[in-house]
Amino acid sequence: MMVEGMALLELGVSPYSGDVFHEMPLIVYLFHFLVDYAEIVFMIMDALTAVTLYLALQEYNKLMFKKQKLLLELKKYPQEGHELLRVPTEMYYVPLKVSLFYLLNPYTVLSCVAKSTCIINNAVIALFILATVKGSRLLSAVFLSLATYQSLYPVTLLPPALLYLLQKEFVPVKMKSTGFWLFSCQYCSIYLGSLCVLVCHSFFLLNSWDFIPSIYGFILSVPDLTPNIGLFWYFFAEMFEHFSLFFVCIFQINVFFYTLPLTINTFKCY
């Protein structure tokens, strides 16, 4: 699909004029220069994702050990719960396990062999997680905007990421404080600003907005019922045509619906 998009671009035809190509313009232009090194690029992206996940888990474990040590000093843990406490060796083997599970996952291997651009999305989301765990609001918002730009659904990570950063910045988190709303506005502004820059840059490359319905419209309307590893195609293939719009709305709402209650519930736990 990427090869077809680049071929159409070289011929001066918009890749989004048909109903086959649904990748972001910036990625098309990126691979226009890297097409001869595609195999190496995808392997590097997978390795980058694994290393980033390792560093993110290592950083998170450090924070959890500090919190656990503080609670032990304050005698907040019951004696019978001491056997459930984290041990120092977890700081090393848990991140390593996560990285190995990612690299050895059959879906990861097959995606790399097939040169699927989901590998790029995985790397960006892993970088977003690392930036969030380290408390960098700028990099967290930028990487989240990159992930959203490519596949839309990562926008659901905005509330939990913001909550996590707020917990690192303010102890305790108070919704009525000026700092809470100022920090939230700054993070959301960086996120939306970065997303707007990416979308506008895509427009300037193509001199057209055709990519928006072709990519985001394709994700939201699910017009392609070709069998794949997902479930959408199966449900809609078995469904009467006049019910499809209703169930498309239900399925899409289901993706975003749980973000708010889970975020609120997490907020109450701190």
| pLDDT for the residue numbered 145 | 96
Domain contains 170: yes
Q: Taking the CB of residue 100, how many other CB atoms lie within 10 A of it?
A: 13
Structurally, the chain folds into a number of domains equal to: 1
**pLDDT of the residue at 80:** 58
Question: According to the model, what pLDDT value does residue 146 have?
Answer: 95
Look at residue 101 in the predicted model and tell me its pLDDT: 94
Residues listed for the chain: 270
Q: Which ranges constitute the DSSP H helices of 207-270?
A: 211-212, 218-221, 232-237, 244-257, 259-268
Sign of CA dihedral 110, 112, 117, 122: positive
Do the domain assignments include residue 150? yes
Give the residue numbers spanning the domain of 52. 2-221
Residue 248 lies in a domain: no
Residue 143 lies in a domain: yes
- Can you tell me the distance from the alpha carbon of 19 to that of 21, in angstroms, rounded to the nearest whole number? 6
Residue 149 domain-assigned?
yes
What does the alpha-carbon distance between residue 155 and residue 129 come to, in Å, rounded to a whole number? 13
Q: Is residue 247 part of a domain?
A: no
Q: 267 in a domain, yes or no?
A: no
In a domain, 122, yes or no: yes
Residue 251 corresponds to which tokens in the numbers above? 């399925």
Q: What is the pLDDT of residue 106?
A: 92
pLDDT means per 10 residues in the chain (270 residues)?
Answer: 68 72 82 81 94 92 77 63 65 88 92 87 95 93 95 90 84 72 92 95 86 83 72 72 78 81 64
Q: What is the pLDDT of residue 196?
A: 95
Q: Do 48 and 85 meet the contact criterion of CB atoms below 8 Å apart?
A: no
